[in-house]
Amino acid sequence: MSLSDLLFLLENGVMAVWKKVIRREDWEKKLNDVRIRKEDMNKLVMNFLVTEGYVDAAEKFRIESGAEPEIDLATITDRMAVKKAVQCGNVEDAIEKVNDLNPEILDTNPQLFFHLQQQRLIELIRNGKVEEALEFAQEELAPRGEENQSFLAELERTVALLAFEDVSNCPVRDLLDISLRLKTANEVNAAILTSQSHEKDPKLQNLLKMLMWAQDQLDEKAAYPHINDLSTAMLEDPPI
């Protein structure tokens, strides 16, 4: 066999044969040897409930487990009211609620404030308030677009909705999709959490990302039972 043939075989999977193979029973034994304190698990659950805004569940879990939340549970209700307002298209109400919580959130986050104002413009267009939409765009959004080119581009896309009577054929019809409301609502939610010195994403979500990353790294060196479906966390034997 020539050197070039050997290199070809190595590049096309022969190295996989040389991976260490870990049997299911050995892998499960290693997993069972890992000890995680119940207190740490409870903190992880509480963090998830607080971050995702499940205030009633967080209160019940606090009573049952003794795990204390990192923030005042009363603030969750206020945060969820803001998020729900954006999701329902009541952007002006959402902005007022954010300012009641902490006026510095929007003062220090021009991109978030622009996205809220943009969503407010979209809702005016959605409701057929053309003149009001044009006036709002000129008075509230145009000055911000002059200060920031990315804002200007987004404003131009949004105003383009007014040029089409049938938005179903509009090239920017995605702006009217409810998913944009949800995206903006999540952006506001994350900003409020950050202002409260709390993670914007649940720790559990980050741990799952780390799990998938670790499996990808280990795949290069060993064949072992995987967790392919995070919803079940069932181990699956790898193809050998």
Confidence tier at 6 by pLDDT (50, 70, 90): very low
DSSP 8-class letter at 240? -
Q: What is the pLDDT of residues 58-82, one digit of tens each?
A: 999 999 999 999 888 888 999 999 9
pLDDT in the model for residue 15: 45
In percent, the amount of the chain with pLDDT more than 70 equals 92
The number of helices, as runs of H, and strands, as runs of E, in the chain is 14, 4
Question: Has residue 148 got a pLDDT over 70?
Answer: yes
pLDDT in the model for residue 169: 81
pLDDT in the model for residue 134: 93
The region that residue 53 occupies, defined by phi over 0 for left and psi between -120 and 50 for alpha, beta otherwise, is left
Question: Is the pTM above the cut of 0.75?
Answer: yes
Residue 154: CB partners within 8 Å, gap ≥ 6?
A: 114, 118
pLDDT in the model for residue 68: 92
Question: Has residue 170 got a pLDDT over 50?
Answer: yes
Q: What is the pLDDT of residues 181-210, one digit of tens each?
A: 999 999 999 999 999 888 888 998 889 999
Average pLDDT, the chain: 88
Question: Has residue 49 got a pLDDT over 60?
Answer: yes
pLDDT in the model for residue 16: 47
**What's CA 71's distance to the chain center, in Å?**
20
pLDDT in the model for residue 14: 47
Question: Has residue 168 got a pLDDT over 60?
Answer: yes
What ranges do the domains of the chain cover?
3-35+205-236, 72-197
Give the integer Cα–Cα distance in Å for 98 and 141.
Answer: 19
Rounded to 5 degrees, φ, ψ at 233 are 60, 25
DSSP letters for 164-181:
-S-GGG-TTGGGGSHHHH
